């Protein structure tokens, strides 16, 4: 006869235990780079949601902690980075947001990885991401420091009007991209990432993120690559960056980039070909189009136009590759952009959508410089 269990009720814990959520996120961050990549992931997420415009705001102000929905939020009323886009959250977005390395778009080959590993890169700078969309506020709390978070949970969803009844939150969000205490149905998506401070007790990262680091690292990196930022996206046509400090009454625009003219038809052509390929395994199709982007730096209103010739090749003549793509829900898609008309000092760029089923690198890590780390120079000026 087997020996009796030491447990009074005869039941002991058994089997592997899942590591704490903070440990899982920390593990992801060790494999995923800090820096300008973070903003590009947020742009890619917005593009996957169908957004046409993305805005970033560095809010350097500190806000009151007297009237909060939960006292645990008092440590997150300081400087923050906001990320806004003009799409709205859907039910599945709320469901999959915050799931470790589990994107809600696994079976949609046109989605690069909405709220998958790439989104977790925001934890390089924050411990408590917040999001407002339509009638709800979502707060992800991996440390489970909020009293209102249910046992075993890692976040909460709150009705927007209930959240904004608390004056400290109303002041914090008021004036940020059309948000105010009177809004009960916010028809856009607004993330708030409170910046991690030196005195933060974080099990995710010891990385302190100051406003200067946001300006000199995240914003500067995005601005440096602005001319190529929108070339291979499917929906986003405008990105802008703002700053709000203690001495100003509203955000100041620092920089913006937008695509000129009507490119919707060309983008729709690529999307339709991609959908057709997924259903019928068609052979390689190529779309060639011209595109120009304009960058602007207020307050001097310094404009610069960049002109490009863009080629997208979708599909493959290789039967083995088509079969593999269908099994893994990925899409053979290569894009190349070449500068024209005075922009020949800018090297041409290539992006690729790779199959990651047999590799150790993540999908996001194999994307173009627009939404990932890898970028290849396919030819230089000649």
HEC sequence for 50-69: CCCEEEEEEECCCCCCCCCC
Taking the CA atoms of residue 138, residue 102, residue 118 and residue 131 in that order, the dihedral angle to the nearest 10 degrees is -10
Residue 188 token pair: 């856009």
Q: Do residues 302 and 269 make contact, with C-beta atoms less than 8 angstroms apart?
A: no
- What tens digit of pLDDT does each residue of 81-123 get? 999 999 999 988 887 775 654 544 555 555 544 556 678 899 9
Bridge-based pairing of strands 238-244 and 53-59 is parallel
Residues 82/241, Cβ–Cβ less than 8 Å: no
13 vs 115: which has the higher pLDDT: 115
Residue 158 has pLDDT above 50, yes or no: yes
Q: Write out the two tokens for 43.
A: 């742009």
Query: Does the structure show a pLDDT above 60 at 178?
Result: yes
- Give which of 212, 221, 209 is closest to 370, Cα–Cα: 221
Instruction: Give the mean pLDDT of 181-191.
Output: 97
Cα angle vertex 48, ends 211, 57, to 5°? 20
| Residues forming beta bridges with residue 369, ordered by sequence position | none
Return the half-sphere exposure (C-beta side, CA atoms, 13 A cut-off) of residue 360.
1
Burial status of residue 372 (CB atoms within 10 A of its CB: 0-12, 13-18, 19 or more): buried
In the chain the first and final C-alpha atoms are separated, in Å, by 83
Three-class SS of residue 35? Answer: coil
Stretch 36-50: mean pLDDT: 92
Of 75-89, 284-298, 340-354, which gets the smallest average pLDDT? Answer: 340-354
**Stretch 313-337: mean pLDDT, rounded?**
79
Mean pLDDT value of segment 284-306 = 86
Task: State yes or no: pLDDT of 156 exceeds 50.
Answer: yes
Return the percentage of the chain with pLDDT > 70, whole number: 78
pLDDT at 286 over 80: yes
Grouping H, G, I as helix, E, B as strand and the rest as coil, residue 207 is coil
More confident residue, 161 or 334: 161
Quickly state the pLDDT bin for 8 (edges 50, 70, 90).
low
Confidence of residue 183 (pLDDT cuts 50, 70, 90): very high
Average pLDDT taken over every residue of the chain: 81
d(CA 82, CA 179): 12
**Rounded to an integer, what distance in angstroms lies between the CA atom of residue 70 and that of residue 169?**
11
Confidence class of residue 357 from pLDDT cuts 50, 70 and 90?
very low
Higher-scoring residue by pLDDT: 137, 9: 137
Higher pLDDT, 1 or 329: 329
User: Measuring CA to CA, how many Å separate 102 from each of 93, 120, 138, 302?
Assistant: 12, 11, 18, 42
More confident residue, 41 or 271: 41
Q: How confident is the model at residue 279 (pLDDT cuts 50, 70, 90)?
A: low
pLDDT at 132 over 60: yes
Given a cut of 60, is residue 310 above it in pLDDT? Answer: yes
pLDDT of residue 9: 52
Q: Is residue 369 over pLDDT 80?
A: no
């Amino acid at each position: 006869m087997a020996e009796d269990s030491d447990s009074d009720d005869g039941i002991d814990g058994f089997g592997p235990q899942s590591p704490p959520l903070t440990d899982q996120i920390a593990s992801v961050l060790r494999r995923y780079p800090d820096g300008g990549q973070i903003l590009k992931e947020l742009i890619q997420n917005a593009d996957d949601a169908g957004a046409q415009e993305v805005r970033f705001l560095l809010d350097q102000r500190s806000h009151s902690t007297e009237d909060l929905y939960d006292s645990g939020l008092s440590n997150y009323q300081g400087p923050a980075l906001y990320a806004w886009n003009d799409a709205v959250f859907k039910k599945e977005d709320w469901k999959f947001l915050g799931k470790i390395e589990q994107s809600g778009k696994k079976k949609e080959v046109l989605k690069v990885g909405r709220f998958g590993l790439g989104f977790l890169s925001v934890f390089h700078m924050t411990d408590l991401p917040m999001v407002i969309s339509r009638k709800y506020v979502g707060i992800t709390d991996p440390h489970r420091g909020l009293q209102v978070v249910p046992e075993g949970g890692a976040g909460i969803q709150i009705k927007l009007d209930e959240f904004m009844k608390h004056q400290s939150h109303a002041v914090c969000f008021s004036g940020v991209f059309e948000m105010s205490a009177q809004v009960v149905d916010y028809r856009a998506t607004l993330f708030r990432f409170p910046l991690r401070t030196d005195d933060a007790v974080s099990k995710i990262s010891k990385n302190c993120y100051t406003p200067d680091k946001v300006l000199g690292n995240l914003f500067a990196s995005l601005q440096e690559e602005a001319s190529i930022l929108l070339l291979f996206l499917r929906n986003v046509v405008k990105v802008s960056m703002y700053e709000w400090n203690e001495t100003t009454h509203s955000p100041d625009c620092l920089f913006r980039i937008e695509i000129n003219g009507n490119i919707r038809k060309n983008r729709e052509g690529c999307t339709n070909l991609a959908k057709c390929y997924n259903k019928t395994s068609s052979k390689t199709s190529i779309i060639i189009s011209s595109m120009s982007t304009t960058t602007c730096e207020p307050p001097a209103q310094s404009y610069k136009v960049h002109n490009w010739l863009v080629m997208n090749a979708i599909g493959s003549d290789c039967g083995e590759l088509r079969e593999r793509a269908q099994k893994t829900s990925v899409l053979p898609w290569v894009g190349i952009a070449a500068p024209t008309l005075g922009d020949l000092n800018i090297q041409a760029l290539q992006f690729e959508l790779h199959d990651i089923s047999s590799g150790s690198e993540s999908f996001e890590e194999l994307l173009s410089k627009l939404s990932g780390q890898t970028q290849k120079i396919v030819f230089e000026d000649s």
